[in-house]
Structure 1
Amino acid sequence: MALLNFRKREIERPSGTPEMEAFLAGYSIEVMPRTAEKIADFRALLAPGTRVYIAHIDGTPIQDMVATARRLAEDGFPVMPHFPARIIKDQATLADWIARYQGEAGVDQALLLAGGVAEPHGEFHSSMQLMETGLFDKAGFTRLHVAGHPEGNRDIDPDGGARNVEDALRWKQAFSERTDAKMALATQFAFEAEPIIQWANDLAEAGITLPIHIGIAGPAKLQTLIKFAIACGVGPSLRVLQKRAMDVSKLLLPYEPTDIVTKLAAHKAANPDFNIEQVHFFPLGGISSNANWAIEHGGAATAPATGH
């Protein structure tokens, strides 16, 4: 039944604007092993070629991560597992993860990030250290993404500034220029378009040319979004949710990212060189509801075969 629904919606005219349809084309989405288990058939929800990130939460066995990657790869989706530096004990563990992903699921791309734990489990504490091992280049990975933070990151800059984040981005920019792997920034989600646009423009002015895959929170209950936003350190744009929570008429309605996506899409259409290239969805209210929202707003097009 779900497959029939998907085909029907592909034929119907989406409710999104042409700008939104173009902006959503080739979007990616994030899953975890436990959330992926709830989906009977990803092919009924996602367009062929959709990149699927697999989030690695501390405590998740590597075999569960690899099994999820293998399932998605067998369904024809490019898989990008997370490699959180602070939960990887040592270089031997990193090499083992890479070998498992490649050997069992054919993985050749990764999101490298520090990870959410306060104390490293071993010798790594940053994505830069993972890149410096040379193991991803040695394994022939074709794509490496790193984290971006439109509203800053207090784990990296405890004073609320951006100096350490900017230094790290300059290092990653330099790394991108000496590796064969394609690179991009996959960002934390936020809820206001204007500060995201300013952040992206500031990066470009600073010479950071890595393409940006902007994080967008999918449809979810307001309480769920506020909980995740606080836990993930979302900054000033949290006020968008707080303002909505004060409106009794909207309190019980699920949040949808229509406003922020519409504004970003319009800006991209008016400024083709704008460095936000794709949307990356965090399906905080469920994979199915996020995929269905994307389909309804024109995001069902096949992901591009090339690009970042």
Structure 2
Amino acid sequence: MTGKDVPRLEEARDGIPPGTRINITFLAGEDLGMRLAAARAVKRLGFVPVPHVSARRLPSRSALEEFLSGLAADGTAENVFVVGGDPARPEGPYEDSLALLRTGLLRRHGVRHIGISGYPEGHPAIAGPVLWSALTDKAAAIAAEGFGGDVITQFGFDVEPVLTWLEAVRARGVHLPVRIGVPGPAGVRRLLGYATRFGVATSASVARKYGFSLTNLMGTTGPDRFLHALAHRYDPARHGRVKVHFYTFGGLRTTAEWVARFRQAGQL
């Protein structure tokens, strides 16, 4: 969710299991008050807030301390997700999320569990070797500091690169639980817009496997086929601990209702 989505979360609350982890983005145009209020709302409604901390959007060390202090005061600092962020140039002293991990400020403000990013299909602006170094370095830093942690991946439409990437992650000695990014039900045009923005493959063959057509953009699609394929081919011995993380492109309530129906059908 974003800082502006509190009313939408309240609408969706009855369809979301208590204790669900809900990530709160760190967007440009949203201020400290909005971010803290969103984390408080997630906690008040019975869920686990996971505020994002965007390294390159932080203008100063004091801004990071102010954010973490606010979370700690509200009792919402235990879980965070650290990410580099979209700006090509840092707005302050932090080049990437590893720099945040090395400040020592997270533990000082009560953080106990840290999420980091994973990119099974690569990143449009970061070379593959750099992504691998970043992942292994961050996983090592989390372990060295005694934090709990997990990896949340970009969303995708094809399980093949996801499973291949998972094996490579484990081969590199990273054994954190991985939450596979899954696009919740949404309009095809919207999904493709996000896919283009984040560099996710959307070839015709992948689209057909996922369940939509690139020639018909007016429909809506859900991740049924993707989840079935992932479950069918998942091997704990090769892929480690794996869960899913839903991106609510079609809305919080729409995603929650879809997941509930999928569960009731015995498919999740």
TM-score using structure 2 length:
0.91
Residue 278 in structure 1 maps to residue 243 in structure 2: yes
Amino acid at match of 1:36: V
Aligned counterpart, 1:65: 35
1:223 match: 189
Residue number among 149, 152, 161 corresponding to 2:119 in the alignment: 149
Q: C-alpha distance in 2, partners of 1:300/1:139?
A: 42
The question of 1:91 aligning with 2:61 is answered yes
Mapped contact 2:77–2:109 kept (Cα < 8 A): no
Q: CA deviation at 1:151?
A: 0.6
Q: What is the one-letter code of the residue matched to 2:224?
A: T
User: Does residue 172 of structure 1 match 2:142?
Assistant: no
| Distance (Å, rounded) in 2 between the aligned partners of 1:148 and 1:169 | 7
User: Which residue number corresponds to residue 105 of structure 2?
Assistant: 135
> Counterpart of 1:133 in structure 2: which amino acid?
T
2:87 to 113, 117, 136: 117
Q: Which amino acid aligns with 1:209?
A: H
Q: In the alignment, what sits opposite 1:37?
A: 7
Using CA pairs under 8 Å that are at least 6 residues apart, name the structure with larger relative contact order, 1 or 2. 1
CA separation of 1:106/1:169 partners in 2, compared to 1, >3 Å: closer, same or farther?
Answer: closer
Stretch of structure 1 that moved more, 96-105 or 63-72:
96-105
1:197 aligns with 2:163: yes
Q: Secondary structure at the match of 2:154?
A: strand
Name the residue aligned to 2:213: 245
Distance 2:214 2:181 in 1: 25
Q: Matched residues in 2 for 1:70 and 1:50: separation? A: 14
Judge conservation of contact 2:178–2:241 (CA < 8 Å) in 1.
yes
Between the aligned partners of 2:56 and 2:178, the Cα distance in structure 1 is: 24
1:245–1:273 CA distance, 2 compared to 1 (3 A): closer
Query: RMSD over aligned Cα, in angstroms?
Result: 2.2
CA contact 1:201–1:274 (8 Å) conserved in 2: yes
Q: Quick check: 226-235 or 101-110, which moved more?
A: 101-110
SS where residue 198 of structure 1 aligns? helix
Q: How big is the shift at 1:262?
A: 0.9
Divergent runs of 4+, >4 A: 236-239
Aligned partners of 1:88 and 1:122 also within 8 Å: yes
Matched letter for residue 166 of structure 1: W
Pairs aligned (count): 264
Residue by residue over 1:230-267, the C-alpha shift from the partner in whole angstroms, topping out at 9 and shown as x without a partner, is 1122136686348833454xx43311101111111222
Structure 1 residue 83: deviation in Å?
0.3
Secondary structure at the counterpart of residue 80 of structure 2: strand
Partner of 1:287: 252
Listed one character per residue, the Cα deviations across residues 39-87 of structure 1 (whole Å, up to 9, x for unaligned) are 4344312101100100111121110011111111111211001101010
Question: 2:62 corresponds to which letter in structure 1?
Answer: A
Matches within 5 A, 1:181-192: 181-192=147-158
Percent of paired sites with the same residue: 27
Give the deviation of 1:108 after TM superposition: 1.0
